[in-house]
Each structure stands twice: as C-alpha cells, then as structure tokens.
Amino acid sequence: MAQRLHLVFGGELVDPGRTEFRDTKDIHIVGVFPDYAQAHAAWKAESQRTVDSAHTRYFIAHLHRLRDEEREVSPTEELGG
C-alpha cells in the first residue's frame, strides 16, 4: 500500500482572512507525517501554541494528492513500495 504523506506547515499571514504568508522565508515546516492522524496532532499542537497570534495559521498539505496515481512511475519514485 502506498504511503499517504502529509506536510504540516504554517506562519504569519498578511491578513487572517487570506492564506498569503507575510514572508515565505519565515514559514515554519513542522514536518512530514505518514498519516493524517499524526499530521492532525502536530497541526493541533502548533495551532494551540500560537493561539494568541491572530495572524498565524498552520495547514496540512496532503502530499499524496500532488502525485498522479494513475501515471506509471519508476521503482525509485514508488513510496512505501
């Protein structure tokens, strides 16, 4: 079964109502997680840690959705193979 990788990241936004970062050099990469449950736990911890900063937001990116699963890949590209 292929891995379902999730990236947790965040930082200060220009406006709390948008998803544009104030400075992309300051984006905090929390980590890459092998399943949604672990990614959600990391997202929640960072979100709670920064709750007093209205402009700071954290996100979960579903890395496995960035790949075209229908396209044949070489063995070196296969995740969790």
Residue type, 50: T
The secondary structure of 13-51 as a DSSP string is BSSTTS--BS-GGG-EEEEEESSHHHHHHHHHHHHHHTT
| Residue 7 in domain | yes
For the segment 12-51, what is each residue's pLDDT rounded down to a tens digit? 999 999 999 999 999 999 999 999 999 999 999 999 999 9
CA-derived radius of gyration, the chain = 15
Residue 48 located in a structural domain: yes
Instruction: Give pLDDT, residue 2.
Output: 65
Residue 41 lies in a domain: yes
DSSP helix, strand, coil percent of the chain (3-state; round to 5): 25, 25, 45
State the pTM of this model: 0.77
Counted domains in the chain: 1
**Which residue segment(s) compose the domain that 57 sits in?**
1-16+32-81
